[in-house]
């Protein structure tokens, strides 16, 4: 059931803190995760229907979620939505919005707090689903689920803050107020790489702000989305507030974006798809009475810059963690290591040395650091870029797929990549690192900015003037000093990028819910 008013008050009376990661050196936690993996595996093959206006239904087509570490293994079966179902879902959500928009913020936030508590109780189950469905290691899956819990907690609190009386300038003879009201129906189109955190963050932010949601999960990760939608129903989110419509990304994405009753589209994914959504959303459809809002996060070509004053061991460790965590399948992953000439050879040697020790294998095994890439298409794309890399630079590590079942590619490192090479410019989304030699710090900073993206970046330096200069000139939405480029924390690191990395949404920050609301000024003349 939803959190009570008294419980909501108790929650917000304490400051928000990030959910601690699970200690997998603890034997009790190890046993709990192993048991969850067995329990989840015992449920393989379940069929999940669409959910539209609270009604569960099958369609004429289905598709399967499979294990990228064992592609012949079917995890779950899903009813496949098409254009007709997309249109019906939007229209049903629009009808439901007419009443949901007036639900008090305290009640809406209560649903998120209750969902967060359920996820804490079932954390190992959610971890296990991610391990099987997208090939995350135990540690990566656990961090993703922790972030999802943080989003629920943080956005619940933010909805309450926006519902408070807002500060405005007094004006004689009037009573004035500023209200944040919801937009309407939102099309939620999350990615597969953070199938818990981003999917739950996009969905919960929209609904807690008072909107109704049509969730089109990533085709490679519908299982965890279905599990979360069931959890929302369990905690009492009213029928019709969230519809669940898995299906083809292009077919469903286009239909949801183009429908005249869709008020906003919240998308995380590739640059190409994001720009297509932006273009379609900008063109008004017959019967449309608003300018649609597109909230887009579209990837990056992120760099870690290392100068000659840096702690070289720390820099090398961060490069490896940022480049190869979750097989490099993060929009924040370090795909370029830009190192000044005087320490280039030393740093590259340290990076290769550390990457060589990373274990690659079945992510359901606790010792595995890197699992498979998500599917056959991703594997082909990454291998094509590796072929390009062999022509553009010097292969230092890896470079071939592993000959075993599953879509496995080991950590791959290229040296002496030119700043304008394809490997230095195009998003690969896999475990491939381009090492680039810079003449000096000025050159390194210029190379770092020499890309159409602008999501994350890191600088390793002990020079305070250079850190200050990078703060001004390193053009990314999330800039880190002397730490890795991945691992943004809700509340501490509002996340979103510049240029072709998207609309700089700043997920997990105090501005984020504003994207799902509109401000209404109300003034009354008084005698």
pLDDT tens digit sequence for 62-82: 999 999 999 999 999 999 999
Block residue for tokens 């003034």: 523
- What does the pLDDT read at residue 11? 87
What are the residues facing 187 on neighbouring strands?
214, 265
Read off the pLDDT of each residue in 460-481 and give the average, rounded to a whole number: 98
Q: Collect all residues with Cβ–Cβ distance below 8 Å to 365 and sequence separation of at least 6.
A: none
State how far the alpha carbon of 20 is from the alpha carbons of 13, 120, 141, 209, 307, in Å.
Answer: 20, 11, 13, 26, 32
426 has a pLDDT exceeding 90: yes
307 has a pLDDT exceeding 90: yes
Is residue 102 very low, low, confident or very high in pLDDT (cuts 50, 70, 90)?
Answer: very high
Read off the pLDDT of each residue in 105-119 and give the average, rounded to a whole number: 97
Is residue 101 very low, low, confident or very high in pLDDT (cuts 50, 70, 90)?
Answer: very high
pLDDT tens, position by position, 48-65: 999 999 999 999 999 999
Half-sphere exposure of 442 (CA within 13 A, CB side): 0
What the chain holds in terms of domains, given with CATH numbers, is 7-13+26-168+176-298+505-522 (3.40.605.10), 302-489 (3.40.309.10)
Q: Is 367 exposed, middle or buried (0-12, 13-18, 19+ CB in 10 A)?
A: exposed
Question: How far is Cα 206 from Cα 265, in angstroms, rounded to an integer?
Answer: 10
Question: How far is Cα 514 from Cα 527, in angstroms, rounded to an integer?
Answer: 34
Question: How far is Cα 395 from Cα 65, in angstroms, rounded to an integer?
Answer: 34
422 has a pLDDT exceeding 90: yes
36 has a pLDDT exceeding 70: yes
- What does the pLDDT read at residue 31? 98
Collapsed DSSP state (helix, strand, coil) of residue 22: coil
Question: How far is Cα 210 from Cα 231, in angstroms, rounded to an integer?
Answer: 19
Q: Regarding predicted confidence, which is higher, 6 or 291?
A: 291
- What does the pLDDT read at residue 9? 82
Whether 297 is catalytic is yes
62-95 as b/e: b if 16+ CB within 10 A: eeebbbbbbeebebbbbbbbbbebbebbbbbbbe
pLDDT tens, position by position, 141-180: 999 999 999 999 999 999 999 999 999 999 999 999 999 9
209 has a pLDDT exceeding 80: yes
Find the radius of gyration of the CA atoms of the chain: 23
Tokens of 293: 């809002």
Is residue 1 very low, low, confident or very high in pLDDT (cuts 50, 70, 90)?
Answer: low
Q: Collect all residues with Cβ–Cβ distance below 8 Å to 346 and sequence separation of at least 6.
A: 312
- How many angstroms separate the first and last alpha carbons of the chain? 46
Question: What whole-number percentage of the chain has pLDDT above 90?
Answer: 97
Active-site choice (106, 133, 140, 331):
331
Block residue for tokens 């909230």: 295
Question: How far is Cα 107 from Cα 100, in angstroms, rounded to an integer?
Answer: 11
Question: How far is Cα 256 from Cα 252, in angstroms, rounded to an integer?
Answer: 6
Q: Provide the 8-state DSSP code for 451.
A: S
Collapsed DSSP state (helix, strand, coil) of residue 495: strand
Question: How far is Cα 42 from Cα 19, in angstroms, rounded to an integer?
Answer: 28
2 has a pLDDT exceeding 90: no
Is residue 351 very low, low, confident or very high in pLDDT (cuts 50, 70, 90)?
Answer: very high
Question: How far is Cα 327 from Cα 323, in angstroms, rounded to an integer?
Answer: 8
Is residue 489 very low, low, confident or very high in pLDDT (cuts 50, 70, 90)?
Answer: very high
Whether 473 is catalytic is no
- What does the pLDDT read at residue 199? 98
Output the CA angle 265-266-267, nearest 5 degrees. Answer: 110
108 has a pLDDT exceeding 70: yes
pTM (two decimals): 0.97
Q: Are strands 62-67 and 302-306 parallel, antiparallel or unpaired?
A: unpaired
Collapsed DSSP state (helix, strand, coil) of residue 172: coil
Of 470, 363, 383, the closest CA to residue 430 belongs to: 383
Active-site choice (106, 133, 158, 297):
297
In sequence order, what DSSP letters do the residues of 200-242 get, joined into one string? HHHHHHHHHTT-EEEE---TT-HHHHHHHHHHHHHTTPPTTSE
218-235 as b/e: b if 16+ CB within 10 A: bbbbbbbbbbbbebbbeb
Q: Collect all residues with Cβ–Cβ distance below 8 Å to 466 and sequence separation of at least 6.
A: 307, 309, 441, 459
Backbone angles phi, psi at 72, to 5 degrees: -80, -5
3-state SS, one letter per residue, for 60-105: CCEEEEEECCEEEEEEEEEECECHHHHHHHHHHHHHHHHHHCCCCH
527 has a pLDDT exceeding 90: no
Read off the pLDDT of each residue in 441-447 and give the average, rounded to a whole number: 98
How high does pLDDT run on average in the chain?
Answer: 97
Collapsed DSSP state (helix, strand, coil) of residue 343: helix
Task: Report yes or no: 85 and 245 within 8 Å, Cβ to Cβ.
Answer: yes
Question: How far is Cα 231 from Cα 207, in angstroms, rounded to an integer?
Answer: 14
Task: Report yes or no: 78 and 63 within 8 Å, Cβ to Cβ.
Answer: yes
């Amino acid at each position: 059931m939803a959190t009570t008013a008294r419980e909501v008050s108790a929650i917000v009376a304490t400051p928000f803190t990030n959910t601690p990661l699970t200690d997998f050196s603890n034997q009790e936690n190890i046993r709990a995760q192993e048991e969850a993996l067995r329990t989840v595996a015992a449920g393989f093959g379940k069929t999940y229907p669409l959910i539209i206006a609270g009604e569960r239904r099958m369609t004429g087509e289905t598709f399967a979620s499979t294990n990228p570490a064992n592609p012949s293994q079917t995890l779950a079966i899903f009813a496949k939505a098409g254009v007709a179902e997309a249109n019906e879902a939007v229209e049903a959500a629009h009808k439901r919005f007419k009443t949901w928009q007036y639900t008090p913020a305290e009640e809406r936030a209560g649903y998120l707090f209750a969902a967060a508590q359920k996820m804490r109780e079932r954390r190992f189950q959610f971890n296990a689903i991610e391990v099987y469905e997208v090939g995350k290691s135990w540690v990566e899956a656990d961090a993703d689920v922790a972030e999802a819990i943080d989003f629920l907690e943080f956005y619940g609190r933010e909805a309450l803050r926006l519902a408070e009386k807002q500060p405005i300038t007094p004006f004689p003879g009037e009573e004035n107020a500023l209200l944040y009201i919801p937009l309407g129906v939102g099309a939620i189109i999350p990615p597969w790489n953070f199938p818990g955190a981003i999917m739950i963050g996009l969905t919960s932010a929209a609904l807690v702000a008072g909107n109704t949601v049509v969730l089109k999960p990533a085709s490679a990760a519908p299982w965890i989305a279905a599990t979360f939608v069931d959890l929302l129903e369990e905690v009492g989110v009213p029928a019709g507030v969230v519809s669940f419509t898995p299906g083809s990304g292009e077919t469903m994405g286009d239909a949801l974006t183009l429908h005249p009753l869709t008020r906003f589209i919240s998308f995380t994914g590739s640059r190409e798809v994001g720009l297509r959504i932006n273009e379609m959303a900008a063109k008004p459809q017959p019967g449309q009475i608003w300018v649609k809002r597109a909230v887009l996060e579209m990837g990056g070509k992120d760099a870690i810059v290392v100068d000659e004053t840096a702690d070289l061991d720390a820099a090398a460790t961060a490069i490896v963690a940022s480049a190869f965590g979750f097989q490099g399948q993060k929009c924040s992953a370090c795909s370029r290591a830009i190192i000044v000439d005087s320490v280039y050879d030393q740093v590259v040697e340290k990076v290769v040395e550390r990457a060589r020790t990373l274990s690659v294998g079945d992510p359901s095994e606790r010792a595995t650091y890197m699992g498979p890439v998500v599917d056959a298409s991703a594997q082909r794309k990454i291998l094509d870029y590796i072929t390009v890399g062999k022509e553009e630079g010097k292969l230092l590590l890896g470079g071939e797929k592993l000959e075993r079942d599953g879509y496995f590619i080991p950590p791959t490192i290229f040296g002496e990549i030119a700043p304008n090479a394809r490997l230095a410019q195009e998003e690969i989304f896999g475990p491939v690192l381009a090492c680039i030699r810079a003449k000096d710090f000025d050159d390194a900073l210029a190379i770092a900015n020499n890309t159409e993206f602008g999501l994350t970046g890191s600088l390793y330096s002990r020079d305070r003037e250079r850190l200050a200069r990078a703060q001004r000139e390193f053009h990314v939405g999330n800039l880190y000093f002397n730490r890795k480029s991945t691992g943004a924390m809700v509340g501490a690191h509002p996340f979103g990028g510049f240029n072709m990395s998207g609309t700089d949404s700043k997920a997990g920050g105090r501005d984020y819910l504003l994207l799902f609301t509109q401000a209404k000024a109300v003034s009354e003349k008084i005698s």
